[in-house]
Chains A and B, each alone.
Chain A
Amino acid sequence: MNYLDNILFAILLILGIGYFTINVKKLIRNIKLGKDIDRSDRKGERWNNMFMIALGQSKMVKRPVAGFLHVIVYVGFIVINIEVLEIVIDGLFGTHRVFSFMGSFYNVLIGSFEILAVLVLVAVVIFFIRRNIIKLKRFVSSDLKGWPKSDGNIILYFEVVLMSLFLLMNATDFHLQNVAGGFMHFHPAGSFPISQYISALFEGVPNGTVYVIERAAWWLHITGILIFLNYLYFSKHLHILLAFPNTYFANLNPLGKFENLEAVTAEVKMMMDPNADPYAAAPADAVPAKFGASDVEDLNWVQLLNAYTCTECGRCTSVCPANITGKKLSPRKIMMDTRDRLEEVGKNIDANKGVFIPDDKTLLNDYITPEELWACTSCNACVEECPVNISPLSIIMDMRQYLVMEQSAAPMPLNAMMTNIENNGAPWQYNQQDRLNWRDEN
């Protein structure tokens, strides 16, 4: 009978972690649909970025209120996970608070978990108020209509439930530990600065009932954690894992430096080389290069990792000059669209035995319109603002390249500007020979 619990727990754990693993594999496969880009250089700077920005939350606190609350939830999440380790061991081996051999240090641990749990509860409630009652602009924008709005609230709800179950579990445990003469295996272990007060609720309740509540809270808590773990893949919340690789692989160059397309360099060099044979046949294996991006597989894997990492906080959009002045462009939507399209492509691959069957859709037009792309001033405010170094701008620029170089679909005035550069070396219609006229003008 006793072993039934342990076996059930093991099955639950295997299911929970197994399904998550399947989805992580899918995630990695989808990210690898992107084009290759070398981010294996400058390892020291990369580790430093990950340490400072992801682990150290250095960019989060640029907005002090949200940053502070986020740090609480983040620290709570990481620290309380130590407790999850104990729960897993207890569940597998039928022990009770297996880490309690640590004595007074264990008391400190449990005590700090409890205080953190309460702080997390407070922070999450404030987050909920910011989203749903104060309605901060970045949380009520049209980007978040429908599922993304529910997604945000579901995550907050989850955290409230998990923290409450954690405290309830401790409160009942504490009550049973203090039953005169002892109760089953509930030996005194841990200090409960918060839940000792909650346990007052159980005065006079039969021990058996309290025991049932304790077991229920314990099981629901760990089940909830496993459900939450598996919810990540279907939500915007993957950032809790992907922020780390994302900050590691992020661009390290000055923000103003845009990549030079190598395929173009080769062609331009040939055009400018007086010795090049203009009639030379292209190498037999030459694949005609596609310039720019019209769909997710034209983007590089870091851009796709960016898309999965985005947690839709909207800081980028709130600083975007185009968005502030009412244009359709929203950098957050660029990231959400990229992720949604990538998911669609991934599902297509799953449904077709590992092969993508064209579906008459592309990221361009079906998700992101040229109007959004042309509203960007390339000012890098979105990139600077992102707490986890996502670059919406790089996707916008790649898609502009496709519009211009593959479709010749630039807005008319830009075509005129580019014609001028071609003809007379300036974006306006002035003769290049007149470039020094200013010297002699009054």
Chain B
Amino acid sequence: MSENIVVPTMAEMLAQGKQPEVLFWVGCAGSFDDRAKKITKAFVKILNRANVSFAVLGAEESCTGDPAKRAGNEFLFQMQAMMNIEVLNAYEAKKIVTACPHCFNTIKNEYPELGGIYEVVHHTQFLKSLLDEGRLSIEGGKFKGKRITFHDPCYLGRANKVYEAPRDLISKLDAELVEMKRSKANGLCCGAGGAQMFKDAEPGDKEINIERTEEALELKPDFIATGCPFCNTMMTDGVKGKNKEGDVKVMDIAEMIANAEDL
């Protein structure tokens, strides 16, 4: 055991007769992808620091079905959805937080009609509410005065109109938030959505993540902030492709906050 993180499962909570304040939906990337696992841990560290009572499903969690649905496989999506809803309802989950905008969108928008009705928030919204309620404070620390640009995840931004929570968090870091020409409702996709993450791109003259990374690099930022594990992968690859990994770091906002707090 390292780093002293405390991550109870819903099953453990139930055994103690407890119901957590919020269920943390980790998602497939957050559970298995090496880069995304760091985001998961960073978020958990902040939850621990703020004494948030939360729990994960652990091995009872399964893919929300988002990539299957966007790929056109409605059967597989609904199978996944209904299995997950059964588990979530069995635990009487009320509020769900997730660091993945795809899980966020699917559970928030597509589960209710299938019987899964929860309050679903993105981790940037949750962190913002912790700040607003005074349960968490952020010092700029190493991000003070740094140039940070935020890449809007499509499924957080355009899909659900969440633009301000991530930006508010960045400004709390005392950083200089610089906007790309295509931001917020006009944000350019990283190229991973719609199940593209899991296939090669169609023939073209450029990769989408390169197009987006170039746009970010024009701003000469110190950091590219993300709020989605898939965007994070795409932007990290883009920065590597441009041989800029020495100058620009791609980080999830949760990682930045954890980092600023030396968690």
**A residues in contact (CB < 8 Å) with B:** 253-258, 260-261, 264-265, 267-269, 271-272, 291-292, 319, 321-322, 324-329, 371, 374-381, 383-384, 397, 399-405, 410-411, 413-414, 416-418, 421-422, 425-428, 430, 432-442
Binding stretch for chain A, among B155-163, B164-172, B217-225:
B155-163
The answer to whether A327 and B202 have CB atoms under 8 Å apart is: yes
**B residues in contact (CB < 8 Å) with A:** 1-3, 5, 7, 9, 26, 28, 30-33, 37, 40-41, 56-59, 61-63, 65, 67-76, 78-80, 82-83, 105, 108-110, 113-114, 154-155, 158-161, 182, 185-189, 191-208, 210-212
The answer to whether A324 and B211 have CB atoms under 8 Å apart is: yes
Out of A256, A327, A402, name the residue touching B109 (CB < 8 Å). Answer: A256
Least distance between B14 CB and chain A CB atoms (Å) = 16
The answer to whether B189 and A379 have CB atoms under 8 Å apart is: yes
Q: Which residue of B lies closest to A370 (CB)?
A: B202
**Which 5 A-B pairs have CB atoms at the shortest separation, nearest pair first?**
A256-B159, A378-B194, A400-B72, A425-B62, A326-B205
Least distance between B34 CB and chain A CB atoms (Å) = 9
The residues of B that contact A435 with a CB separation of less than 8 Å are 26, 31-32, 57-59, 61
Whether A438 contacts B40 in the complex (CB less than 8 A), given A326-B206, A427-B28, comes out as yes
The residues of B that contact A437 with a CB separation of less than 8 Å are 31
The answer to whether A265 and B114 have CB atoms under 8 Å apart is: yes
The answer to whether B193 and A421 have CB atoms under 8 Å apart is: no
Out of A272, A380, A401, A417, name the residue touching B74 (CB < 8 Å). Answer: A401
Least distance between A262 CB and chain B CB atoms (Å) = 9
Q: Which residue of B lies closest to A267 (CB)?
A: B75
CA distance A88 to B191 in the complex (A): 55
The answer to whether B37 and A441 have CB atoms under 8 Å apart is: yes
CA distance A257 to B56 in the complex (A): 25
The answer to whether B203 and A327 have CB atoms under 8 Å apart is: yes
- Please list 15 pairs of residues, one from A and one from B, whose beta carbons are closer than 8 Å in the complex, sorted by A's number: A255-B160, A256-B109, A257-B109, A258-B70, A260-B74, A267-B75, A371-B202, A377-B154, A400-B72, A411-B199, A413-B198, A422-B79, A425-B28, A425-B61, A432-B59
Whether A380 contacts B208 in the complex (CB less than 8 A), given A427-B67, A438-B31, A438-B40, comes out as no
CA distance A128 to B61 in the complex (A): 57
CA distance A397 to B77 in the complex (A): 14
The answer to whether B7 and A421 have CB atoms under 8 Å apart is: no
The residues of A that contact B205 with a CB separation of less than 8 Å are 325-326
